[in-house]
Amino acid sequence: MTVVSLKAGTGVESIPSVLRIGLSDGSLFSFKLPYLPVEFQDESVFSPGKDLSAAEEDACRFAAACYRTERAALRLVARAEQTCRGITHKLEIRGFAASCIQAVVSYLADLEIINDERYAVLWLHARLARSVEAPRKLLAGLHRRGISSRIAEGALKSVLDFQTESALLKGYLKKKHPHNPETDKYLKKQLKYEGFSPSVIENVWEEDEI
């Protein structure tokens, strides 16, 4: 297979430009160098007049498939913040190849276009703004969305500082556990199980004289 034409589009800052290649069989498609094996990540490999080896042609066509997958992924990102697992599932439903999805998600994550940490923090802020939920339930919500325990716990810690968690606990007590000395004998233990910090629990107890 011979390269008939090669044109480069315009890149944005550190994002590589799109290459438009025409082959002697009439094929015309676009791809990005990062989706090629390292040894092929040089435009000179695809210079007009170059006879491509089978490996080079296969790599070029794979990169083109990845670029089509990337465009679909970016449309999803434009609608809403995505997690790595979430966007992987959505792309699978749309019929894209698993190998392309893996390459695209990894690439977009490296560029921080997809960022699980950012998603987790934004999700927590949105959730807390509309409902009163215990930390344990918030973590479970992040896990269901494909966020790892490490990232989920880090995001929760960054969102729930001492003051914010204290306010959350007061709201949680008011909503879930109206004070009753007879029925709330083991309330502190229950709250610790729900994920509230012992120091926050003690502070709220002292402030409100529960």
Give the residue from 75, 63, 56 showing the smallest Cα distance to 29: 63
125 with 76, same domain: the answer is no
What is the number of structural domains in the chain?
2
Identify whether residues 15 and 97 lie together within a single domain: yes
In the structure, what pLDDT confidence band is assigned to residue 14 with cuts at 50, 70 and 90?
very low
What pLDDT shows up at residue 29? 87
Which residue range(s) make up the domain with 96?
3-110
What b/e sequence results for 53-77 when a residue is b if at least 16 CB atoms lie within 10 Å of its CB, and e otherwise? eeebbebbbbbbbbbbbbebbeebe
Q: What is the pLDDT of residues 147-178, one digit of tens each?
A: 999 999 999 999 999 999 999 998 988 887 76
Place of tokens 């699978």: 92
Q: How far apart are CA 117 and CA 150, in angstroms?
A: 10
φ/ψ of residue 21, rounded to 5: -120, 140
Residue reference for tokens 């949105």? 126
Which pLDDT belongs to residue 10? 57
Indicate whether 179 and 149 sit together in one domain: yes
**In this predicted model, what pLDDT tens digit does every residue of 39-61 receive, in sequence order?**
888 878 888 888 888 998 999 99
